[in-house]
Chains A and B, each alone.
Chain A
Amino acid sequence: MKRNNIVIHLILAGFALICLLPFVLIVSTSLMHEKDIALFGYSFIPKRFTLMAYEVILKNPQQLINSYAVTIAVTLIGTAVGLWLTATIAYVMTRKDYKYRNKISFYVFFTMLFNGGLVPSYILISRWLGMKNTIFALFVPYLVNAWFVLLMKGFLQSIPHSLVESAKIDGAGEFKIFVKIILPIAKPAIATVGLFMVLQYWNDWWLSMLFIDKENLYTLQYLLIRVMRNLEFLNTEFARKYLNLAQVEIPTLSARMAMSVLAAGPMLFVFPFFQKYFVKGLTVGSVKG
């Protein structure tokens, strides 16, 4: 038993280490001299340390702080509302006594593959709903995601139907059953999907790009991706031909990595928070008994 455990730990630790490589690489590159990167490539240990990249970014922290605030707000509201919507629709899909469960499953699944494309969604959100340049544009479009709903359904499926039945005999309404019985025992599922939603909102730049052209509503990732995408363009033949590159400020690779560190950093603390709810065993047995 003990020896088995050591083997398991070795395997897991080995893979965990490989997974941490990008983290080491990003941090180390952000501390590197720009010239060293071109000379020696991306390496896990910088040849010479410098904090210059961080100094440059943090010299004008106003935009960064602002974007942190926007991103945190969007992530919190989006995840909370999104989880409620996702959990309710996923739950009714798992109820074997619910007549329309297959129809609703299909209704949800269909949207995973088929969508009207960018322009119709844009017209809807920007022109019909008037969300352009408002904070709503940054979370409303992602509230219900077919994939998350079906994942949630997969988790909730294992909840025994007997639980619901006994509650019904006690005279509880569906709303009460959902809130008082289902939600508490579905904690791990909700924590997992919630975690994925947090990441989705935290990492999103697409909505900012499409719907926001006011700097005070930019999210963190958009600040970052804007720089990266600028750079990609500045390397094209057009930029060389038509732009005076000597006048264009090109952020160094270290600066980009430093931005990544600042943008990703908070997420390292979010994961353990959600893990609190990864509780084994639940209370299924006791409720049933």
Chain B
Amino acid sequence: MYASRRKNSILKDFIRNFELTFLALPAIVFIFVFAYIPLYGLILPFKNYNFEQGFFGSPWAGLQNFKYLFTSDTLVRVTTNTVVMNALFILFGTLFSLLFALLIFEVGKRHVKVYQTAMFFPYFISWVVAAYVVLAFLDMENGFINRMLIHFGKDPIMWYSNPHYWPFILVIVSVWKSAGYGAVIYYTGLLGTDTEYYEAAMIDGATRLQRAWHISLPLLKPLITIMTILAVGKIFYGDFGLFYNVTLDSTQLYPATDVIDTFVYRTLKSMGDIGMSSAAGLYQAVVGFALVLLSNWVVKKANPENSLF
């Protein structure tokens, strides 16, 4: 009796929501085919994979493939570096993106094009090219900064040998590379907000700062929340291009710049074991997943409207 009524309501729900489901159906099917079907690859970390026997035929390896990660003396170092640097990137990246978005929003449409195009440029170039830009500043002999130092009678600094400077350098480079991108996102978010609020505020005679603080930021809150939750999900992934290319893979900098992704790359490059590398990927995904569930739960408690799901 109860069961059939429940079935009935499920069917009713389905029919009532059918039109919207149908609208999204092509995308749902696409995701299923391209993202969910290949998921059988998730068994790879637990297999001793060989080409002949394939995914399902290869012998099980238990947790062997994870061992190199968790028994490494660098695990603490690389995990700390990854998480701390990413946390700094999220913090400063969001701050500067918001700042630039609000500033551009203030100066109006006429100047938007020039500023945004320029700010977007670093995002557009590859890390390889970005590394050349950083090198132009930090090169020991010919770098812009060292030439300045020598010019003012100071000793040149060997930037690529001293890890102490790198947390700062990396944050600056990361903000430089991504703030324009973030600014575009938040600027778009501001465009989507209702102009009535601003008109009302104008009439009330609010200053620009007050407007930004009391209207723009609260309106952007849902977007900021989503962006941050998504970034938290990726907190265990070190940006390989940044940590490998920009540091010139200088081994003397490893105490500050070695992250999970560079460590895995270095460890596996000679052996090239698919099982071991996918083990690292699974580890990053599972931790990121847990963190997202946690932060989503916190957000949901505070305000269900803003949560991701």
- A-side interface residues toward B, CB under 8 Å? 4-5, 8-9, 11-13, 15-23, 25-26, 29, 40-44, 84-86, 88-89, 91-92, 95, 98-100, 102-109, 111-117, 119-121, 123-124, 140-141, 143-144, 146-147, 149-151, 153-160, 173-175, 178, 186, 188-189, 191-192, 195, 199, 203, 228, 260, 264, 267-268, 271-272, 275, 278-282, 284-285
Given A116-B40, A124-B37; A284-B20 close (CB under 8 Å): no
Contact B35 A111 (CB under 8 A): yes
> Which of chain A's residues have a CB closer than 8 A to the CB of B93?
none
Given A29-B132, A195-B184, A203-B124; A113-B139 close (CB under 8 Å): no
B-side interface mostly: helix
> When the two chains form the complex, which single residue of A19, A40, A115 contacts B119, counting CB atoms closer than 8 Å?
A19
Contact B233 A99 (CB under 8 A): no
> Which of chain B's residues have a CB closer than 8 A to the CB of A275?
112-113, 116-117
Q: Which residue of B lies closest to A87 (CB)?
A: B27
> When the two chains form the complex, which single residue of A23, A43, A280 contacts B121, counting CB atoms closer than 8 Å?
A23
Q: How far does the Cβ of A198 sit from chain B's closest Cβ, in whole Å?
A: 11
A sample of 6 cross-chain residue pairs with beta-carbon separation below 8 angstroms, ordered by A number, consists of A8-B106, A84-B26, A120-B37, A143-B30, A158-B194, A191-B188
Besides A91-B24, A123-B38, A149-B27, 20 new A-B residue pairs in contact (Cβ under 8 A), listed by A number:
A12-B107, A17-B118, A18-B176, A19-B122, A22-B130, A41-B141, A42-B136, A88-B26, A89-B27, A92-B21, A95-B20, A120-B38, A124-B37, A144-B34, A147-B230, A150-B230, A155-B189, A174-B20, A203-B124, A280-B190
A20 to B126, CA, bound (A): 14
One of B11-19, B69-77, B151-159, B162-170 at the interface: B11-19
A117 to B288, CA, bound (A): 17
Q: Which residue of B lies closest to A4 (CB)?
A: B208
A119 to B27, CA, bound (A): 23
> Which of chain A's residues have a CB closer than 8 A to the CB of B191?
188, 278-282
Q: What is the interface size of chain B, counting residues whose CB is below 8 A from a CB of the partner?
A: 91
Given A22-B122, A42-B135, A199-B124; A8-B103 close (CB under 8 Å): yes
> Which of chain A's residues have a CB closer than 8 A to the CB of B128?
228
Contact A22 B309 (CB under 8 A): no
A21 to B142, CA, bound (A): 17
| B226 interface contact, C-beta 8 A | yes
Contact A285 B195 (CB under 8 A): yes
A20 to B129, CA, bound (A): 13
> When the two chains form the complex, which single residue of A115, A173, A271, A282 contacts B35, counting CB atoms closer than 8 Å?
A115
| B217 interface contact, C-beta 8 A | no
A6 to B27, CA, bound (A): 46
> Which of chain A's residues have a CB closer than 8 A to the CB of B188?
155, 188-189, 191-192, 278
Contact A121 B34 (CB under 8 A): yes
Complex A-B, nearest 4 residue pairs according to Cβ-Cβ distance, in ascending order: A41-B142, A116-B41, A116-B38, A120-B38
A114 to B34, CA, bound (A): 12
| B171 interface contact, C-beta 8 A | no
A84 to B30, CA, bound (A): 12
Q: How far does the Cβ of B17 sit from chain A's closest Cβ, in whole Å?
A: 5
Q: How far does the Cβ of A165 sit from chain B's closest Cβ, in whole Å?
A: 14
Given A92-B20, A115-B35, A189-B192; A271-B41 close (CB under 8 Å): no
> Which of chain A's residues have a CB closer than 8 A to the CB of B114?
16
Given A12-B115, A41-B135, A275-B112; A158-B289 close (CB under 8 Å): no
Interface residues of B in 195-239 (CB under 8 A from A): 195-196, 208, 219, 222-223, 226-227, 230, 233
> When the two chains form the complex, which single residue of B24, B41, B113 contacts A89, counting CB atoms closer than 8 Å?
B24
Contact A91 B23 (CB under 8 A): yes
Contact B133 A21 (CB under 8 A): yes
A282 to B188, CA, bound (A): 11
Contact B118 A188 (CB under 8 A): no
> Which of chain A's residues have a CB closer than 8 A to the CB of B44?
117, 119
A178 to B87, CA, bound (A): 38
Contact B289 A278 (CB under 8 A): no
Q: Which residue of B lies closest to A123 (CB)?
A: B38
Of B31, B122, B125, B219, most A-chain CB atoms within 10 Å: B31
A21 to B135, CA, bound (A): 12
> When the two chains form the complex, which single residue of A25, A44, A111, A279 contacts B36, counting CB atoms closer than 8 Å?
A111
Contact A117 B281 (CB under 8 A): yes
Q: How far does the Cβ of B217 sit from chain A's closest Cβ, in whole Å?
A: 14
Q: How far does the Cβ of B169 sit from chain A's closest Cβ, in whole Å?
A: 14
> When the two chains form the complex, which single residue of A9, A99, A124, A154 contacts B38, counting CB atoms closer than 8 Å?
A124
> Which of chain A's residues have a CB closer than 8 A to the CB of B278?
117
A44 to B143, CA, bound (A): 11
Contact B111 A175 (CB under 8 A): no
> Which of chain A's residues have a CB closer than 8 A to the CB of B139?
41-42
Of A9, A91, A144, most B-chain CB atoms within 10 Å: A144
Contact A86 B27 (CB under 8 A): yes
| B61 interface contact, C-beta 8 A | no
Contact B103 A158 (CB under 8 A): no
A259 to B115, CA, bound (A): 25
